Structures are given as C-alpha cells and as structure tokens.
Structure 1
Amino acid sequence: MLRGIGGAGAAALLAGCGVPAAYVDPEDRAGRDLSARDRVLHFANWPLYIDTDDDDKSKRPTLDAFRKRTGISVRYTEEINDNDEFFGKIGPALMNHQETGRDLIVISDWMAARYVRLGWVQEMDRAKQPNVARYLDPLLRKPAFDAGRLHSVPWQSGITGIAYNRKKLGREIRSTKELWADDLRGKVTLLSGLDESFSLLMQGRGVDVTRWTADDFHGLCEQIEDLVRRKHLRRFTGNDYIKDLSTGDVLACQAYSGDIIQLQADNPDIEFVVPEEGAELWAESLMIPNLAQHKRNAEQLVDYYYEPAVAAELASWVNYVCPVPAARDILADSGDEERAALAEDPLIFPDDAMRARLAIARDISGDERAEFTKRWNAIVGL
C-alpha cells in the first residue's frame, strides 16, 4: 500500500515534448505565504499512516497536540493511495504553475525524485527546522535525487528485504541467492513494481546500487526472465504477497519490513531478513508543493514530527523504520512493556550490523525510465 506501483502512468504523462514544458524554474515556485494570517495547513497523506486515538479513530493525538501548542489547525486527508495516481491528480496544476490546494504531501522517494527534477516542490528553510537538522537519521540525509535533503524530509522509512516462513521451509534464509534454491521452486514471489523490486535483486547479484548501470539492469532482467521460464517464481505481486505468505502458498518472498512486523503478531514463524548482500532502505518523504499557501506552517509541522518524543509516538503506531534514531530512547524509557519492546525491534530501529547492509539505490533517470519500464513490465506481465 505504502510503496505504490510502477511508474508507467507518470512516465506517459511526461513523455516527449511534455517534459520541458512541465519544468518550473526556481523563481516561480514560491507563492504568497499566508501562514501568519491563516493558522492552518492542508496535509495529504496515505491511509493508516498516523497515530489515532484508541477510542475515536477520527482523532489523531499528535496532530491535536500540535494544534494546542501552535494554534495551527491541520486539515488532514488520507487521499494518497498510489504514487502514480496522486501524481496524475496534482500534476496538471503543478505543470501549469497553479496551486494544488495542499501544503504538505507524502510521496515515495522514487516518485519524489520526479517532483524534484521537474521543480514541482519548494526548498524548506532548515534554519527554521532545528529538529530535522539535529535528529534526521544520517543514513537518510543524502539521497541521490535530493542533494542535502533540501526539498524532502522522510516521514517514515522502511526496508525491502526477504520474508519467509521458517517453520514450513525448515531452514534459514540469509542471502538473496538462496531464493533460487530448488526447494523453493514455485514457492517464491517478487514485487511487480520496477522501482520496488530492482534494488534488492541487484544487491543479490553483488551490485553497488548507489551507482548501478544499464548493464547491471539488463543482467538482472536476464536472470529474472530465466527464473520465469523455469517456473521458479510463483508470481509477481503488489502488497497481496502478505496473504500468500500467511496462508503458506509461498514460502519466501520480497517484502517490506513494516508489513512483516504486523504479520508476525499473528504468525511468529514469519521471519524478515536483511540479506548478507544488502537490502534497500527507502522512505516516504514530506514535501511542500509549489505555490503552497501555508509553507511556514508546513515547515513547522515537519519539524514538530522530528522531536524525538513525537517521533516515538508516531513510530509506536505505524511500525516502520523510524527516521529519528533518538526516538528509540524515548520508547525504551517509557515504562510501557510494549513500547519498550519496539525500541529493541531492529525493523524499527536497525542495529549497527543491519545498518551496515542498508543502501539507498540511485533513482532511475528520466532518460532510462521508458526503456527499463518497458522491459520490466514485459517480464512481470504488466
């Protein structure tokens, strides 16, 4: 749900002569900021991606606390269900230098790269965001698509790794290469989206994904094509891999760390692995669209969520990798047994050994995307 699907729709929107016209120059990105007058902001996010009140699911305690502290009300909408779909929703306005009606959005980093390349989002004033400057995880500070993280701030992060049913498989998996063992024939699934899949699979081939090449990509495709021909792969999936894994229809799969935390609550036989060759660290990031009318209010909200206590509250609900490592101590010292356990979960706060195996892949460039998407979609049947 959180990572969305591949980029064919967005690529089509910006194909050919549409790309140059879509770019917005830096001097044309800022709108009139009404923050001082209008103590409000519009925050668009994914469903089920924020804390809620136990007794009233319409209430969001961290947002309520922000309003009480600052006097700024947040119009919070859960309207992002797919990266491409939302791109198509607000893209026409941004392309035509129009205001979107949103001050803050959350987008997967592979898609955020396109917003940055097109000049559709504004730089944030880090001088007014001391918590971001101090507490943002060093692993997330330098994505290739946004040097210095000037246009984006991670909302939550996650790992694309391997999940498997240890009891039913009868052995451990520690390497991506082990997915291709004979005893897993017909019992393995991979993610269908190109942007979601390629990094982990390249890492399994020994590729440095921070600087992979076209040859690396085509070599990977040849490997996956061979696995398809030999019927080693059961199928390619979206988030429905969760059902396949929980029912035992598959024994091992490409998976997201946050999903598996939830699945383990019902099935402790499910394991999540950051392979020996490495795994992808990714994020969904907060960004401020061009011409946003409440930029300063949005910057203030972003910085609020980087207070360790607030980040800890959010992490205890969403169970993804927390981009604020200092939140770990807050949970550990909370006096609550369940929250203290979260502080020790490496899928929320990766330990040093796991962090050493995580990498942020370089993005697929605009010049590469059409060719690579065409080949990948032919393999997975999209």
Structure 2
Amino acid sequence: MAKNKEKKEEPVLTEWQKRNLEFLKKKQAQKLEKDKLDEKRLAEKRAQLEEMKSFEKEETLEDEGKETSSAKDDKEASEEKSQAKKAKSSQLDEGKEKLPKKKAKPKKERQIPPSQIWQAVAVLSLSVLVLLIAVFFISPYSRQKALTVSGNTNANQIELLDQTGIKASDYITTIFWHRNAYAKAAANKNQWVKKADLVYEFPNRFILKVTEYRVIAYSQTAQGYVPILENGRRLETVNATELPSSYLVINLENEADIQSLIKQLSALNQDLVSQIKTISSANSSSTKDLLSIEMTDGNTVRIPLSELEKKLPYYSKIKDSLTGGQIVDMEVGIYSTNAAIEASIAASRTSTEETSSETSADPNASSQSETVSDNSQTVTEATTSQVSE
C-alpha cells in the first residue's frame, strides 16, 4: 500500500516535457562523447609530436655521418668525371680531324617582291601628295597671287583687273580653273577690249593678255572729237590736244553711213587707211552716197560709199603718177582731173544753161549757144585724162 502511494505521488509529465527530458539527456551524452574524443585527439597529437622529435634527432645523427662519407665520394666522382670529359674531348678532336670539314651555307635573306615595293611607293607618294595639297590649301599661300596686264594701250590696268571679278580671297586654283570666265568678263565690260586671255605662270602669277580695238576714225562734233572704234562703237569725247599726230576725221551725219564706212575701213589695208585725212559727203545729186576723201598727200578721191572697199585700193596703184592737188573720180570708172579743170567745166555748163534759156527767148542767139557748147566740150576733152589700171 505504501508503494502504491509513492507511485501515485509522482507527478505526471506531459508529452512535451517528456521529449524535452529526452533531448537534454541526448545533449549530455553527446557532450560526454565529444569530450572523450577531444582527449583522444590531444593524446594522439602529443604522441605524434614526440615521434617527430625523436625522428629528427635520428636524422641529424645520420646526416652528420653521411656528410663525412659523401665528401669522400664527391671527390672521387668529380675526379672520375673530369677524366671521362678529357677522354671524350680527345675522342671528339680525333673524330673532327678525320671528318671532312663542311662548308658553311650562306644564310638566305628574305627578299621582298618588287611588285609589293612599287605598291608601297605608290601609296606613300599619293599620301604625301594629298598631305602637301591639304597643307597648301590651309596655308595663306593658296590665296597669294600676282596679277598683271599686257597689251593694253588705252584701257586702264586697274579697271581691267577690277572688271575680271578676281578677289583677294580667291584661291589660286579657283582662278586657274575659271580663267576663261574671268577673261571674258573683262572683255565684255571694257569697251576697249576686243579679246582677253588670262594666262597662268607657275607658281602664282596670272597675266591678262589684252587685244584692243583700233581707233579707225574720229567724228568731229561741237564738243570735240569722238573716237570711233573698228567695231563701230563711239567712246567719250576727247579734246584736240589728246588726238594723235595723224588721225582720220569723219564728217558724216547719218549714223548708218558711219557704221557702214567703219566696217569697210576696217577691212581695208591699214597703210591705205592711214593715208586718209578726212571723209565727207560730196553732196552729189546723181550719186547720193558719193564721198569726198581727202588724202594726206593733197589729192582728193571721189568714191561711192557702197563701192569704197572695192575701188579705193586702186588709189595705191595710181597715186605715184599723180601730181599734187589732183582729183581722182571713181564714181563711174576711174579718171583724174584737178580743181581748175572742174571750175572751167562748171563755168561752161552754167554758160550753156544760160544761153539755152536765152535761146528760148531769142532765136538769133542759137548760133552763139552752139558755139559755147562746142567750146565747153573742147575744154572737157582737153583737160580730162583717162587713167588706166
């Protein structure tokens, strides 16, 4: 009964408490096992250390004994090796003497193919050229140029250069590639210029070569003398002091006649044109375009404007046979006369006209008029001489 009471007095544990107790018991058991293992490991390490120390002592004793014996062995081995080397060297020398000497082969140098060399030279040359061109355009030398004019007598040099349109900022290459356009601009803007060429000279020189229109004649006006160029263009009026030593004066009013005259004079030989002093209208009733040309040698030529280019060259052939003050009439054919003869002919014509008018009034004067007409015809035949070519 007492035992039963004790059993009844023990507390009843829950499941969680039971598990906790078991866990704690396992923990204690594991800890005990771990401590035992650590003690074993320490004991093993101590034993290993003692063995290592004893082993090292034995090795040191053996090494000391070996060093003494190995020193003797090394000396003997080195002597044997030296003797063996000497024997081998002697054998090699004998073998070399017996063997024929081989000729040393020259080392072949690697040669670059010529095609590759030329390709490299071409590439380098092109690269250098491009570099030089780039440097040139960047530098101020690409805009430095020398401009001059040649062949101009009447045209002003500064005006001509300005009329080309070339600027200080223009590149040399720009002027070179457009030189024809610059020359044409100067020719169009300047009334003196007949033809212009812009020529380039290395390295930076440009020459504007000009061909001017010739002054064919001067037209006399109240303000002065107007130069007329070979293309028919009139220039500004000049004073008598500005005229050359010899010049041709045109005294015509009709502009169309002046242009036609200039055109024909330009086609004639300039030596012949230079002998002309003045050209005026002859005021002929029969030939309206009849001109009276006064030559520098004192002779006068009468010639139609429409036939000037055709007939005037004949004057060069007959002028040597003429005396001073002759009149060469080329209106119909070619013949020469003088002022005295023409005055007598004019007087005879006027007297004939007067007698004819009197005859109509008085029949008895018919015989006198016939006598006067006969005399005038005789004077004309006696004073007029035909000139052959």
Q: Same fold (TM over 0.5)?
A: no
- TM-score for both structures, normalised by structure 1: 0.19
Rg larger in structure: 2
Q: Between the two structures, name the one with larger relative contact order (CA 8 Å, sep ≥ 6).
A: 1
- TM-score for both structures, normalised by structure 2: 0.18
